[in-house]
Amino acid sequence: MGTRLTWPGLDWTHGYDRATLSSDLVAAVIVTLMLIPQSLAYASLAGLPPQVGLYASMAPLLFYAAFGSSRVLAVGPVAVVSLMTAAAIGDLAQTGSPAYGLLAITLAFISGAMLLLMGLLRLGFLANFLSHPVISGFITASALLIAVGQLKVILGIQVPGHNFFESLPALILQLPNAHALSAAIGLGTVAFLFWAKRGVKPLLRLLGLGPRLADALARAAPVAGIAVTAVLTWAGQWHEQGVRIVGTVPQGVPPLTLPSWDLALWQQLAVPALLISVVGFVESVSVGQTLAAKRRQRIEPDRELVALGASNLGAALTGGFPVTGGFARSVVNFDAGAQTPAAGIFTAMGIFLAALLLTPALYFVPQATLAATIVVAVLSLVDLHTLRSTWAYSRRDFSAVIVTLLLTLAAGVEAGLVGGVVLSLLLYLYKTSRPHIAEVGLVSGTEHFRNVLRHKVQVSSQLASLRVDESLYFANARVLEDRVNALVSERPELRHLVMQCSAINDIDASALESLEAIDQRLRDAGLCLHMSEVKGPVMDRLQTTDFLKHLSGKVYLTHYQAVSELAPEVMTRSEVDVRH
């Protein structure tokens, strides 16, 4: 394959050789082993039959390989998106019914179309408005919601609702009614998987296995858990004692499907589909970027949108449900040595074989075992570190985390996510609307100016120096007006006001009008307004207006120049402490 293809999604085919093929094949085998139980589990989390999870793990991988910019991202069902799918369509049809399956397909189709459109319109930046604190709070809350939901499956009990604060106490009260055998299977699997995370690899190394093989086998722990519990269930015929099992999984290739074209339904699904798209995109891109950087590669967010859009359309056309780039499987793919998207294609083939041949073997798999693999997977998403670190770093960011977290737990994934985004934007606007404005004075013997409240500096009674630490725009322009008005009314001897503009990256039309008003008022009161250290782009803009022509004072290159010219006595004065 020595010829360079022009299709951007296939540039990795250039120079594809035997060594790369071998790396990709090994990675594919390991990821396939990991994906089989995950696919089944996430399908059941989304309220769908297990084979749908397998379907959603084939076409999306192929579509991503054709369009994506990451070489190692593995696309398929993931925990949070599956939860969001269940939340979006859970109230619209009976779980497990054909209508429910059609809703999932339609949701994937709408989400895919949105992602594709966002990619073509280069709207990837919209995802940036989902802040880290909001994502962290949302993912933690989602993980807790999922864990409680799966605990119900493990314990074989029914408790109402998606509201965490009602479900958790109800779950605890219902504990005496738990189905003991199911609980033993589920909790046993949970314990085994937690142990396996750390314990299996050293054990296998002790038994003399090589590090790569030991690692690969350790990742197959969920498969082992499923195999063992399925065999035990078959041997003990536990399903006759009330242990719920996967049952018959239709064997064969994924069906060709189409979404519903009901416009009213599309309107109903539009907001959930948008939220699923954005959350999936953000999760996928952050995984992709982290892994790409390790090999000094790069992913292109707008191309990722197109690729994820195509993947979801692929899922919709093959009987699947919404998918995205998963963290765990992509890391496994990377660590297992995947070099190119061919690893994804081989993985899709592996899942295809599993769907074709392996499904009868899944009959006796207990639901509790699948639930256990989900619980173990999602508990690693609970992020208490961010809660602690944002508390220490910024109360504003902390409030975004905690509000998103609590709102998601109390009111569900959609309300939590939207509420978190709106809150974080409002907090940002609030912060920028109250800029830090310092009156500064000269540090003796230097050309530096510092806050008069913090440092021993020299000032003049006739000249005031203000430094604004924020771009000036409509929300904070009047704050500056107020500050200047206060200054002028407090100091009758004032003759000059110099604004040090080194931190002002932009002045919008409102702020310009405020500056004109300030200048006019100062002039009316017998003062001059000067500016210093105005940035190039800001100056370019100001020069398109009359402002500089009408300005009562002058514009100085440095603040020191301004003060030397307007109040030279400051320069010669000995140090005075004006700390208040």
Element (H, E) at 424: helix 413-433
Verify binding: residue 44, its own copies, rule CB under 8 A.
no
* 14, 434, 448, 579: which one binds its own copies (CB under 8 A): 434
* 57, 131, 318, 340: which one binds its own copies (CB under 8 A): 131
440 and 563 in contact (C-beta within 8 Å)? no
Site residues (CB under 8 A) for its own copies, limited to 382-411: 386, 389-390, 392-394, 396-398
Helix residue spans in 367-412 (DSSP H): 367-379, 384-393, 395-411
* 244, 303, 431, 456: which one binds its own copies (CB under 8 A): 431
91 and 393 in contact (C-beta within 8 Å)? no
**# chain residues binding its own copies, by CB under 8 A:** 74
- Smallest gap from residue 509 Cβ to its own copies (A): 4
* 239, 303, 495, 541: which one binds its own copies (CB under 8 A): 541
Residue 120 to residues 60, 63, 111, 123, 341, Cα–Cα distance (Å): 19, 16, 14, 8, 22
Verify binding: residue 525, its own copies, rule CB under 8 A.
yes
SS3 track for 515-553 = HHHHHHHHHHCCCEEEEECCCHHHHHHHCCCCHHHHCCC
Site residues (CB under 8 A) for its own copies, limited to 110-129: 125, 127-129
Q: Alpha-carbon Rg of the chain, whole angstroms? A: 31
Amino acid in position 322: P
Verify binding: residue 552, its own copies, rule CB under 8 A.
no
What are the percentages of helix, strand and coil residues in the chain, rounded to 5? 65, 5, 30
Per-residue contact string for residues 473-492; x = within reach of its own copies by CB under 8 A: xxxxxxx-xx--xx-xx--x
* 100, 470, 499, 529: which one binds its own copies (CB under 8 A): 470
Sole window of 41-49, 167-175, 325-333, 501-509 interacting with its own copies (rule: CB under 8 A): 501-509
* Mode of pairing for the β-strands spanning 463-468 and 496-500: parallel
Verify binding: residue 98, its own copies, rule CB under 8 A.
no
Site residues (CB under 8 A) for its own copies, limited to 290-319: 290, 292-294, 296-299, 301
Sole window of 48-56, 224-232, 468-476, 571-579 interacting with its own copies (rule: CB under 8 A): 468-476
Sole window of 5-13, 248-256, 355-363, 515-523 interacting with its own copies (rule: CB under 8 A): 515-523
Contacts of 125 (CB under 8 A, 6+ apart): 301
- Smallest gap from residue 260 Cβ to its own copies (A): 32
Q: How far apart are CA 363 and CA 334, in angstroms?
A: 32
* Of residues 425 and 466, the one with the C-beta less far from its own copies: 425
Helix residue spans in 124-220 (DSSP H): 132-155, 164-173, 180-206, 211-219
Residue 290 to residues 203, 284, 298, 360, Cα–Cα distance (Å): 30, 10, 9, 38
- Smallest gap from residue 546 Cβ to its own copies (A): 9
Site residues (CB under 8 A) for its own copies, limited to 2-31: none
Q: How would you class 554 by CB atoms within 10 Å of its CB: exposed for 0-12, middle for 13-18, buried for 19 or more?
A: middle
Verify binding: residue 446, its own copies, rule CB under 8 A.
no
Q: How far apart are CA 559 and CA 465, in angstroms?
A: 9
Q: How far apart are CA 291 and CA 331, in angstroms?
A: 8
* Of residues 248 and 543, the one with the C-beta less far from its own copies: 543
Per-residue contact string for residues 274-293; x = within reach of its own copies by CB under 8 A: ---------------xx-xx
- Smallest gap from residue 435 Cβ to its own copies (A): 8
* 424, 458, 500, 532: which one binds its own copies (CB under 8 A): 424
